[in-house]
Amino acid sequence: MTEAETEFRPHSAHWGAFSAGWRDGRLVVRPHPGDPDPNLILQNFPEALRHQARIARPMVRRGWLERGPGADDRRGRDDYVAVSWDRALELLAGELARVRDAHGPEGVFGGSYGWSSAGRFHHAQSQVHRFLNMTLGGYVRSVNSYSAGASNVILPHVVGPTEDVSRRNVSWEAVAAHSEVVLAFGGMALKNSMVGGGGISRHIERDAMRTAAARGCEFILVGPLRDDMPADAGAEWLSIIPNTDTALMLALAHTLASGGLHDRGFLDRYTLGWEKFEAYLFGRTDGQPKDAAWAAPITGIAAETITALARRLAGRRSLITVAHSLQRAEHGEQPVWMGLVLAAMLGQIGLPGGGYAYALGALAHTGRRQNAVSPAALPQGRNRVGAYIPVARIADMLLNPGGSYEYNGQTLTYPAPKLVYWAGGNPFHHHQDLNRLRRAFRQVETLVVHEIGWTATARHADIVLPVTMTLEREDIGSSQTDPLMVAMHRIAEPYGEARDDYAIFSDLAARLGKAEAFTEGRSAGDWLRHLYAKTEADLITKGLPAPDFDSFWRKGELLLPQAEDDGGILRAFRDDPDGAPLPTRSGRIEIFCETIAGFGYADCPGHPAWLPPTEAPRGEAPLHLIANQPATRLHSQFDYGGHSSGMKRRGREVMRIHPADAAPRGIADGDVVTLRNTRGACLATASVSEDIRPGVVQLPTGAWYDPEDPAEENPLCVHGNPNVLTRDAGTSRLAQGCTGQITTVEVTRFTGNLPPIRAFVPPDLAAAE
Ligand SMILES: Nc1nc2c(c(=O)[nH]1)N[C@H]1C(S)=C(S)[C@@H](COP(=O)(O)OP(=O)(O)OC[C@H]3O[C@@H](n4cnc5c(=O)[nH]c(N)nc54)[C@H](O)[C@@H]3O)O[C@H]1N2
Ligand SMILES: Nc1nc2c(c(=O)[nH]1)N[C@H]1C(S)=C(S)[C@@H](COP(=O)(O)OP(=O)(O)OC[C@H]3O[C@@H](n4cnc5c(=O)[nH]c(N)nc54)[C@H](O)[C@@H]3O)O[C@H]1N2
Ligand SMILES: [Mo]
C-alpha cells in the first residue's frame, strides 16, 4: 500500500475526521472537507507512521526473562530481548495463569487508564478490560479520570453527574445566541476543544465565540496565560495567581451579597444551605469577611477590579465556566463548587446561554447536541473483582499495598496486585512525580505493555507487545456528541511485526482456554459489522434511513440524527424544581452539603471555602509551574510526529517565562533552562513572553520522559516532561484526584554540554533469542 499512489480513504482520530492517501511514497493527510476549523495535530501522522520510535517486534526485558517475575530495580534501564510472537504469548499466558492461580483476578491491575485511539472497536482500554473479564473473571480497576478527578466526586454531591454539567448542558449555539457575559475561569483555549474522544468532524468553538462577541457578548478570561481564550472572543484578560480562583469567586460573591445584587429568589427556590455559607462569606464563622480587599493579595487582582467585575455580572445573562485545569490541583474541589455557587447567586442557571457550565470548551464534547442513536461500543463483560483505586492513586497503591486511605466518606484499603497490564495509556505521561512512579513500578512482579512506540512506560515493561496504530487497521469512529460516524479504512500495512490489540488478546484467550468467550467467534471484521448492526437497528426503530454496513463502508461516513438542545437537567430543574429535582440528596443545588460535612474532612468542608495550598511558591521553588495540555499533540501521542517535533526548540519542549522572571536569571529567549524542585529536574527551551503572568512559568505535558542517566535515583529529564516535577498527592480526602496541573519550581539557565535526546531511539536491543 505504501509504494503506489492510492486513493484517499476516510479515517478518524481524536483530533478530527480526515482522509489519507499516498503520494510519492509519502502519506498525505487531508482534514474532512466539512470541518470549518481543522486541527493541525492531524499532521503528526505522516512522520509518525514509520518512525524509528515504533516497536517492531515483541520484546522481553532481559532481567525478567532470566530471573522470572519479581520486584526489580533494573526496570527502566535493562535491555530487551526480541522474541517470536509465539514465545511472547506463551510466556505471557503462563504468567497470567500463574498470577490467577496464586492470587485470583485480584492479582492483576487492569485499570489501564489512557486515551487509546478513536476507533470504537480497537479501543485498547475496552479490549484489555474485556479480555481480563472474560479470561480471569476481572481485575483491579480504577475509577474517575485524570481529567476531572475532583469534579467526578464533588459534582454529584452538589448538583449532578459531571457529564450533565459539562457535556449535556449549555450549548455553543446558546452561547452564540444568548450569553451576555462569559466569565471563564481557566479559559476555553481552542487548542483544547480541537480534541474529542472518538473523533470530531466539525470544530465549531471558534465560530461560536466569534459570533457571540460580534453580538456584543463580553468574554472575560481568568487565568495565568493570555492565550487560554482565542483572539476571536476578544476577551479581557484577568491574570490571576494560580490556584487562587476560589478566593476570587468568594470575593465576587461577597460583593454581590453585600450589595444585594444576588438573586434571593433563585437561592430560596433552587438551593440548599445559603445561610450557612453566607455566615462564612461575611466572616461570622471565622472573623474574616471574604471581601475584595481580602482576596486582592491572595489572587493578585486589585480589589476595585473585583468589585467592578461583580457588578458587571449581576442582572445579565451571565455564564460562569470552570475549566478542568482548576480542579487538577490541591483542593481542586473548591473552585468547581464555588463557581456553581457564584452562578446560583446570579440566578441564571438553566436559562439559555446562562448559569454554570463546567469544562465548556475543554474538549470537543461539550456544548454540543447528543446523538439520538447510540454509538458503537465493545461490550466489556462483567468484572467480578470489587477492589478499585481512584485513578491517580496508582503509585500509592503499588508502594503501599494493604495500606489504608480515605475517599469520598470511606476508609479503603489499597489492593495488592502483582501483575500490571497496560494497553492504550502512558502512565509516564499522565502520572505525577515520575521518580516516585519509577520506584512504584519496580515493586510489581510483572508489567505488561501493549504499545505503538517505545514510550517510557514500554521501557519499564517486562513484556512489550508491538501494536498497530489506527491507520493500520479498520474501525468505526464515533462519539456521542458528533453526528458523523466514520468508516475508518486501512491506510497502511502494519509496522514490522505489530499486531492489533484484538488479535493479541484473541490468541492469549485461546491459550487460556477462553477463545470463544473473548471473541464470540468473530473476526475483527465481523465485530465491525456486529457493532454497526446496533446503530442500523436503532435507525430502523426510529423510522430513519438505515444504510447497511456495506453501503456505510463504501460511502465512508454516516450522518447520525441528533437530539434537540434541551438544556439538560439544569433547564428541566429550573422549569420544574419539584417535578424534575436534581439527582442530589436534597434534589437541589447544595451550597451547604450535609453529606460532605458529615465526612469531617478539613481539606473539603461542608461548603466551598478558601483553603490555602500546602505548596506555594517560596524559597528554592519561587515560581509557579503550569503543566497544561500541549497544543501540538494529544498528551504524549506521536510526540515524534512532524507537527509536535517541529514546534520544539533545540529538540526540547518549550517553557514560557515572563521577561520580568527571565531577566534576573540571565535567561534569554531560546536558552536551554533547567526546571527544578525537591522532586526532580528537567530541561526545556525558554520562550520569553508577555503572555504569561510574572511569577508563573508554563511547560505543557507530553514530551516523552528521557532520563539522562536512568541508573540514578532522580535523573534529569533532558527533554522536558513536567511530571518529573509535579506532586503526587490527591486533591483532598474527598476525591483523591490528580493534582498535576500546578506545582512550584526554580528555573536556571543551563550551562555545559547539552545532553542528547534519546527519547525516540529504541532501547539497546540485545540479540534475538
Ligand atoms: N502534569 C500534568 N499531568 C497530566 C495532566 C495535566 O494537566 N498535568 N493531564 C492529565 C489528563 S487530563 C489526562 S487525560 C492524562 C492523559 O494520559 P494518557 O491518556 O495516558 O496519555 P496518552 O499520551 O494519550 O496515552 C495514550 C497511549 O496509548 C497509546 N495508544 C494509542 N492507540 C493505541 C492502541 O490502539 N493500542 C495500544 N495498545 N496503545 C495505543 C499511545 O501510543 C499512548 O502511549 O494525562 C494527565 N496528566
Ligand atoms: N491539544 C490538546 N487538547 C487537549 C488535550 C491535549 O492533550 N492536547 N487533552 C484533552 C484532555 S484529556 C482534557 S481532560 C482537556 C483538559 O482541559 P483543561 O484541563 O482545562 O486544559 P489545560 O490546557 O490543562 O488547562 C487550561 C488552562 O487553565 C489554566 N490554568 C491552570 N491553572 C489555573 C488556575 O489555577 N486558575 C486559572 N484560572 N487558570 C488556570 C492554564 O493557563 C491552562 O492553559 O483538554 C483536552 N484537550
Ligand atoms: Mo483528560
C-alpha cell recorded at residue 110: 487492569
What's the rounded Cα separation, in Å, for the pair 78 and 64?
10
Q: At 538, is the pLDDT very low, low, confident or very high (cuts 50, 70, 90)? A: very high
Statement: residue 18 has pLDDT above 90: yes
206-215's contacts with Cβ under 8 Å and 24+ in sequence apart are 206/36, 206/37, 206/230, 206/232, 207/36, 207/37, 207/176, 208/172, 208/173, 208/175, 208/176, 208/367, 209/175, 209/176, 209/233, 211/176, 212/175, 212/176, 212/177, 212/179, 212/182, 215/176, 215/177
Query: Structural domains in the chain?
Result: 3-48 (no CATH), 169-369 (3.40.228.10), 623-749 (2.40.40.20)
Cα–Cα nearest to 722, from 699, 706, 694, 751: 699
DSSP readout, 561-619? PB-----HHHHHHHH-TTTS--SSSSSSEESS-HHHHHHT-TTS-SS------SS-SBT
**Beta-strand relationship, 623-626 and 696-698:** parallel
Q: How far is the CA of 766 from the centre of ligand 2 (A)?
A: 41
Q: Which residues line ligand 1 (CB under 6 A)?
A: 114-117, 122, 124, 146-147, 328, 423-426, 429-430, 450-453, 455, 467, 501, 627-629, 634-637, 701, 722-723, 726, 740-741
- pLDDT reported for residue 768: 52
Cα–Cα nearest to 167, from 570, 476, 542: 570
Protein residue whose Cα sits closest to atom 23 of ligand 1: 636
- pLDDT reported for residue 5: 80
Q: How far is the CA of 283 from the centre of ligand 1 (A)?
A: 43
Which residue type, as a one-letter code, is found at position 40? L
What average pLDDT does this structure show over 264-276?
Answer: 98
Q: At 471, is the pLDDT very low, low, confident or very high (cuts 50, 70, 90)? A: very high
Q: At 754, is the pLDDT very low, low, confident or very high (cuts 50, 70, 90)? A: very high
Torsion of CA 72, 449, 102, 140, to 10 degrees: 110
Lowest mean pLDDT among 265-269, 277-281, 288-292, 370-374: 370-374
The catalytic site residues sit at: 113, 115
Q: Contact, 205 vs 195, CB < 8 A?
A: no
> Which of 152, 452, 465, 640 to probe ligand 1 with, by most ligand atoms within 8 A of CB?
452
Q: Which ligand is nearest to the CA of 494?
A: 1
What average pLDDT does this structure show over 654-683?
Answer: 98
Q: How far is the CA of 431 from the centre of ligand 1 (A)?
A: 10
Q: At 769, is the pLDDT very low, low, confident or very high (cuts 50, 70, 90)? A: low
Position in ligand 1 atom list of the atom nearest CA 634? 24
Q: Which ligand is nearest to the CA of 196?
A: 2
What average pLDDT does this structure show over 92-106?
Answer: 98
How many C-beta atoms lie closer than 10 Å to residue 442's C-beta? Answer: 17
H or E stretch at 431: none
- pLDDT reported for residue 765: 62
What's the rounded Cα separation, in Å, for the pair 531 and 343?
41
> Which of 429, 640, 741 to probe ligand 1 with, by most ligand atoms within 8 A of CB?
429
Statement: residue 431 has pLDDT above 60: yes
Burial class (CB in 10 A: 0-12, 13-18, 19+), 758: middle
- pLDDT reported for residue 376: 77
Provide CB contacts within 8 A for 646, sequence distance 6+.
632
Q: How far is the CA of 707 from the centre of ligand 1 (A)?
A: 19
Burial class (CB in 10 A: 0-12, 13-18, 19+), 410: exposed
Cα–Cα nearest to 210, from 255, 163, 172: 172
Statement: residue 766 has pLDDT above 70: no
Q: How far is the CA of 211 from the centre of ligand 1 (A)?
A: 33
What's the rounded Cα separation, in Å, for the pair 676 and 489?
46
DSSP readout, 159-179? TS-HHHHTTTSS-HHHHHHH-
Torsion of CA 583, 586, 592, 593, to 10 degrees: -70
- pLDDT reported for residue 746: 98
Q: Which ligand is nearest to the CA of 55?
A: 1
Position in ligand 1 atom list of the atom nearest CA 741? 8
Report the percent of the chain where pLDDT is more than 90: 98
Q: Treating both helix axes as pointing N-terminal to C-terminal, what angle do 124-136 and 85-103 enclose, rounded to 10 degrees?
A: 60
Provide CB contacts within 8 A for 630, sequence distance 6+.
191, 644, 700, 701, 702
Q: How far is the CA of 463 from the centre of ligand 3 (A)?
A: 27
Statement: residue 767 has pLDDT above 70: no
What average pLDDT does this structure show over 42-68?
Answer: 97
Q: Which ligand is nearest to the CA of 471?
A: 1
Q: Which ligand is nearest to the CA of 392?
A: 1
Q: Where are the beta strands (DSSP E) in 127-282?
A: 141-143, 181-185, 218-223, 236-239, 271-272
Q: How far is the CA of 145 from the centre of ligand 3 (A)?
A: 7
Q: Tens digit of pLDDT for each residue in 301-336? A: 999 999 999 999 999 999 999 999 999 999 999 999
Statement: residue 441 has pLDDT above 80: yes
What's the rounded Cα separation, in Å, for the pair 257 and 260?
5
Protein residue whose Cα sits closest to atom 28 of ligand 2: 186
Q: Is the CB of 240 under 6 A from ligand 2?
A: yes
Protein residue whose Cα sits closest to atom 1 of ligand 1: 740
Beta-ladder partners of 482? 479
Q: Is the CB of 245 under 6 A from ligand 2?
A: yes
Burial class (CB in 10 A: 0-12, 13-18, 19+), 415: buried
- pLDDT reported for residue 375: 79
Position in ligand 1 atom list of the atom nearest CA 470? 35
Computed over every residue of the chain, the mean pLDDT equals 97
Cα–Cα nearest to 158, from 356, 296, 301: 356
What's the rounded Cα separation, in Å, for the pair 646 and 668?
21
What's the rounded Cα separation, in Å, for the pair 310 and 442?
52
Statement: residue 374 has pLDDT above 90: no
Place of cell 500495512: 493
b/e per residue, 508-526, with b = 16+ CB within 10 A? bbbbbebbeebbeeeebee
How many C-beta atoms lie closer than 10 Å to residue 261's C-beta? Answer: 15
Q: Tens digit of pLDDT for each residue in 613-643? A: 999 999 999 999 999 999 999 999 999 999 9
Place of cell 500500500: 1
> Which of 15, 192, 203, 701 to probe ligand 2 with, by most ligand atoms within 8 A of CB?
192
What average pLDDT does this structure show over 583-611?
Answer: 98
Q: Contact, 170 vs 346, CB < 8 A?
A: no
Q: Is the CB of 478 under 6 A from ligand 2?
A: no
What's the rounded Cα separation, in Å, for the pair 248 and 265?
24
What's the rounded Cα separation, in Å, for the pair 488 and 477?
6
Q: How far is the CA of 632 from the centre of ligand 1 (A)?
A: 14
What's the rounded Cα separation, in Å, for the pair 717 and 684?
9
- pLDDT reported for residue 377: 86
What's the rounded Cα separation, in Å, for the pair 212 and 411?
47
C-alpha cell recorded at residue 592: 451547604
Position in ligand 1 atom list of the atom nearest CA 637? 23
Q: Tens digit of pLDDT for each residue in 135-183? A: 999 999 999 999 999 999 999 999 999 999 999 999 999 999 999 999 9
C-alpha cell recorded at residue 553: 463502508
Q: How far is the CA of 196 from the centre of ligand 1 (A)?
A: 13
> Which of 193, 322, 629, 638 to probe ligand 2 with, by most ligand atoms within 8 A of CB?
629
Provide CB contacts within 8 A for 297, sequence distance 6+.
none
What's the rounded Cα separation, in Å, for the pair 371 and 560?
7
What's the rounded Cα separation, in Å, for the pair 723 and 680?
9
What's the rounded Cα separation, in Å, for the pair 404 and 386?
16
Cα–Cα nearest to 615, from 736, 745, 748: 745
Q: Is the CB of 166 under 6 A from ligand 2?
A: no
What's the rounded Cα separation, in Å, for the pair 222 and 229?
9
Place of cell 536551554: 672
What average pLDDT does this structure show over 720-725?
Answer: 98
Tell how many helices (H) and how many strands (E) occur in the chain. 28, 30
Residue 447's SS3 state is: strand
What's the rounded Cα separation, in Å, for the pair 360 and 169?
9
How many C-beta atoms lie closer than 10 Å to residue 301's C-beta? Answer: 22
Statement: residue 30 has pLDDT above 60: yes
Statement: residue 2 has pLDDT above 60: no
- pLDDT reported for residue 671: 98
Q: Is the CB of 362 under 6 A from ligand 2?
A: yes
- pLDDT reported for residue 4: 67
Measure the N-to-C terminal CA separation of the chain; round to a whole number of Å. Answer: 31
What's the rounded Cα separation, in Å, for the pair 470 and 451?
12
